[in-house]
């Protein structure tokens, strides 16, 4: 090459066919596969999740916005779809994979308590109930119907109420227990306030259900109130 002649070697440029975040996503996948995400931050897991629905969008800022809005990863996954849609960049297509994670977690936790007597897998039951109910905005009443070996026959949400009240009708509960040939049951409801302390109404309702069940030879094992990070067992507290 003649001295002073311009070089024809071109500088490396980003291919117009590859967005700036393409390499970043590849590195995220590699990191994930090393330990299945154990060493990754919440926003990185959420970022990867969003790429399933938004393959041509930089999902990192969206993931961080979601975490800021809902507090943490659990808050995002359990958030109401209507609330999720209020976040910039989030549409129906990107809400689906987020809620899919919640559904998968619920089914996994539920499957674990289906495989053995509920009483002997209490920790797994409590974990499942927290996944299912701890972040609900209104009260839900859940009934767990058990057979004579304390295996779960049915897991049903009987009523949905307000932020601080759920109506319960003992006759309807007993009718359903008889239909399922249940030998025992567990009452569960959540307190959206986050505080699982039983109210007077909670105690009165429990006594009504217990009395109605005893007349039919059905045992009320427990009434569990689910709060945000803890729970109250009527049996453990001597209330049942």
CATH number reported for the structural domain that contains residue 183 in this entry? 3.40.140.10
Judge if 134 and 69 occupy the same domain.
no
Judge if 33 and 100 occupy the same domain.
yes
**Residue burial 85-109, b: 16+ Cβ < 10 Å; e: rest:** eebeebeeebbebbeebbeebeeeb
Strands 219-226 and 152-160: unpaired
Among 106, 130, 155, which residue terminates a domain?
106
Give every CB contact of residue 197 below 8 A, 6+ residues apart in sequence: 191, 225, 232
The Cα–Cα gap between 2 and 7 comes to 10
- 210 token code pair: 């217990």
The Cα–Cα gap between 156 and 187 comes to 10
Inside any domain, residue 141: yes
**pLDDT of the chain, 240 residues: tens digit per residue:** 444 454 444 444 444 556 666 667 788 888 989 998 899 999 999 999 998 888 888 889 999 999 999 999 988 998 889 999 998 889 888 899 999 999 998 888 888 887 778 877 888 899 899 988 988 888 889 999 999 999 999 999 876 655 455 667 888 999 999 999 999 999 999 999 999 999 999 999 999 999 999 999 999 999 999 998 899 999 999 998
What is the residue whose two structure tokens read 């507290």? 237
Judge if 222 and 135 occupy the same domain.
yes
What is the residue whose two structure tokens read 């039919």? 216
- pTM for this prediction: 0.74
Enclosing domain of residue 188: 121-233
Inside any domain, residue 8: no
* Counted domains in the chain: 2
Judge if 228 and 128 occupy the same domain.
yes
Inside any domain, residue 163: yes
The string of DSSP letters for 37-63 reads TTTS-HHHHHHHHHHTT-TTS--HHHH
Inside any domain, residue 174: yes
What's the pLDDT at 17?
58
Judge if 100 and 132 occupy the same domain.
no
The string of DSSP letters for 105-141 reads HHHHHHHHHHSS-GGGGHHHHHHHHHHHHTT-SS-EE
Judge if 181 and 217 occupy the same domain.
yes
Inside any domain, residue 12: no
Judge if 141 and 212 occupy the same domain.
yes
The Cα–Cα gap between 135 and 80 comes to 10
Judge if 144 and 213 occupy the same domain.
yes
Inside any domain, residue 9: no
Judge if 159 and 222 occupy the same domain.
yes
Judge if 127 and 216 occupy the same domain.
yes
Nearest CA-CA partner of 62 in 16, 30, 27, 52: 52
Inside any domain, residue 36: yes
Among 53, 77, 106, which residue terminates a domain?
106
CB atoms inside a 10 Å sphere around CB 120? 9
Inside any domain, residue 170: yes
Burial of 154 (0-12, 13-18, 19+ CB in 10 A): middle
């Amino acid at each position: 090459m003649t001295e002073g002649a311009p070089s024809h070697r071109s500088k490396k440029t980003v291919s117009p066919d590859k967005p700036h975040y393409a390499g970043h996503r590849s590195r995220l996948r590699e990191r994930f596969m090393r330990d299945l995400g154990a060493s990754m931050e919440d926003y990185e897991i959420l970022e990867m999740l969003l790429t399933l629905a938004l393959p041509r969008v930089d999902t990192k800022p969206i993931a961080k916005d979601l975490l800021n809005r809902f507090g943490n990863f659990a808050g995002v996954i359990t958030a109401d779809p209507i609330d999720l849609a209020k976040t910039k960049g989030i549409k129906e297509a990107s809400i689906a994979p987020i809620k899919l994670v919640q559904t998968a977690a619920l089914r996994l936790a539920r499957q674990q308590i289906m495989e053995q007597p509920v009483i002997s897998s209490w920790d797994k039951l409590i974990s499942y109930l927290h996944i299912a109910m701890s972040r609900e905005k209104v009260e839900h009443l859940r009934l767990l119907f058990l057979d004579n070996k304390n295996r779960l026959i049915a897991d049903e949400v009987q009523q949905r109420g307000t932020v601080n009240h759920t109506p319960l009708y003992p006759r309807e509960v007993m009718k359903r227990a008889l239909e399922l040939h249940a030998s025992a049951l567990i009452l569960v409801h959540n307190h959206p306030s986050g505080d699982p302390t039983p109210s007077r109404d909670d105690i009165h309702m429990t006594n009504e259900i217990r009395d109605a069940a005893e007349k039919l030879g059905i045992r009320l094992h427990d009434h569990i109130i689910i709060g945000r990070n803890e729970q109250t067992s009527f049996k453990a507290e001597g209330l049942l």
